[in-house]
Amino acid sequence: EAAMGEEGYLTDKGLIPLGEEKLDAVRKSVLSLTELKL
């Protein structure tokens, strides 16, 4: 939240914040400890 949201610190670095839908998907993945597939 502190990094990727509308008020996240990454927007101060010039990055575009995630939209609400994408942010929700990332949040669910993190909370469920979904394995990252590269």
Give the pLDDT confidence of 1-38 residue by residue, as tens digits.
789 888 899 999 999 998 999 999 999 999 999 998 89
Q: What is the pLDDT of residue 5?
A: 86
Q: Are 24 and 31 spatial neighbours (Cβ–Cβ below 8 Å)?
A: no
At 2 the pLDDT is 87
What is the pTM (predicted TM-score) of this model? Answer: 0.67
* Per-residue pLDDT, 1: 73
